[in-house]
Structure 1
Amino acid sequence: MKTLYTLLTAAIILASCNGPKKDTPIEVAFSPDEEQLEAINTECFQYFGEKDTVLMTTHVDGTNVTGTLAYSIYEKDRNSGTIEGELRDDLLIAEYTFMAEGVNSKRQVVFKNTEEGWKEGYGEMKSVDGIPVQVNIDSLDFDHDMALKPVPCED
């Protein structure tokens, strides 16, 4: 009887040592690859006014944010570029690197996530290492109608 238990235990151990576990078809279907993860974590936002348009795409990885930002404001130069920053509570604080009038520039942008959508904050700016940044993020003015609302991302 003792030999039977020993053989049975050995058979169970051998059966459990079939090599590395293979993902089931269900696990494969619900385990997104890197490209799918980027698409899952990417969101697009737009403000479309009578003569103004602002488009923002964000890719969120934890609290880090990268993406694109483009402004087309009536009677002002169009500009578009990239953002790189972080989320702090309901704020997106980023460095905006953009091209306007053939010149590469940088400035800080701050957007607040409000009930209406993402609103850019405006306030007094100062130059730090040649880059305009907000003097006091806590006192920015978000009281305007240019709210970027979620839209489907285009491929």
Structure 2
Amino acid sequence: MKTQFLLIGAILATIACKGPKEDSPIDAHFSPDSVATAEIREDCFQYVNGNDTIRLRIQPEEVNVSGELAYLFFEKDKSWGTIEGTLRDSLLIAEYTFLSEGDTSTRQVVFKRFEEGWKEGYGDIQELDGVVTYKNIDSLDYGHEVNLVPIPCDQFVSKLE
């Protein structure tokens, strides 16, 4: 069992080091020419409601962003993984490669920066080359109450609990 976790961790680390794929279906939604450099630094964010938690750590390097994302929902499937993406205006558009229930998957995530923190966008999805993506990033809904607020990064726990 321990060997299996080490293997999965090594796979996730290898994926994180490769950076965004050149032919990623997520890249098809915008060109690098339209990407604006955002003024943010390495930061950690968290949403907590009762026993449910979402954690996000971002490490921007100009317009590229890497980091970690975890969904820790009480009595539901938990997931943890890495994100690799790009900042465009107030949007973080990334591929989320995650482990959940012993399986590794990839899907697109989009977060929008608001004054109080980051909110994840939701909308119609499609599958392109085995990656779940949004059909139209510009029409995502951010009108929910889930808001990831800043926390000190030394409080960020990057494992499934």
Structure-1-length-normalised TM-score: 0.72
Structure with more relative contact order (C-alpha pairs < 8 Å, separation 6 or more) = 2
Structure 1 segments (4+ residues) deviating >3 Å: none
Letter in 2 for 1:115: E
- Distance in 2 (CA, whole Å) between partners of 1:92 and 1:73 is 22
The yes-or-no answer on 1:129 pairing with 2:129 is yes
Equivalent in the alignment of 2:18: none
- Secondary structure class of the residue paired with 1:154: helix
Partner of 1:147: 147
- 1:79-118 mapped onto 2 (5 Å cutoff): 79-118=79-118
Cα displacement string for residues 109-154 of structure 1 (whole angstroms, at most 9, x for unaligned residues): 0000012310000000000001000000011010111100111001
3-state DSSP of counterpart to 1:94: strand
Secondary structure of the residue aligned to 2:154 is coil
- For structure 2, which runs of at least 5 residues remain unmatched after alignment? 1-39, 156-161
Aligned residue in 2 for 1:58: 58
User: Aligned-pair RMSD on alpha carbons?
Assistant: 1.4
Q: CA deviation at 1:41?
A: 3.7
SS of equivalent to 1:147: coil
Deviation at 1:75, TM superposition (A): 3.6
Q: What SS does the corresponding residue of 1:138 show, helix, strand or coil?
A: helix
Aligned length: 116
Question: 1:43-97 deviations in whole A, cap 9, x for unaligned?
Answer: 1000011221000000010010000000012342000000000000000000000
Give the TM-score of the pair, scaled to structure 2.
0.69
Q: Distance in 1 between matches of 2:42 and 2:77?
A: 27
**AA aligned opposite 2:85:** G
Amino acid at match of 1:126: Q
